[in-house]
Amino acid sequence: MAFDLNAFSPQQLDALIAQAKERKTTLKKRKPLASVRKKLTDLAAAEGYSVAELFGAGGAAAPAAKRAGRTGPAKGRKLGKVPPKYRNPANKAETWTGRGKQPLWLAGQIKKGKKLEEFLIK
pLDDT digits (tens, 9 = 90+) for 39-89: 998 998 999 988 888 887 655 444 554 555 566 666 777 778 889 999 999
Residue 73 lies in a domain: no
Write out the residue range of the structural domain in which residue 13 sits: 9-51
Q: What is the pLDDT of residue 61?
A: 43
Q: How far apart are CA 81 and CA 91, in angstroms?
A: 22
Residue 45 lies in a domain: yes
Total number of domains constituting the chain: 2
Among 10-24, 55-69, 106-120, the range scoring the smallest mean pLDDT is 55-69
Residue 60 lies in a domain: no
pTM: 0.37
Q: How far apart are CA 55 and CA 84, in angstroms?
A: 38
Q: What is the pLDDT of residue 66?
A: 52
Residue 71 lies in a domain: no
Quick one: which of 93, 100, 95 has its CA closest to 120? 95
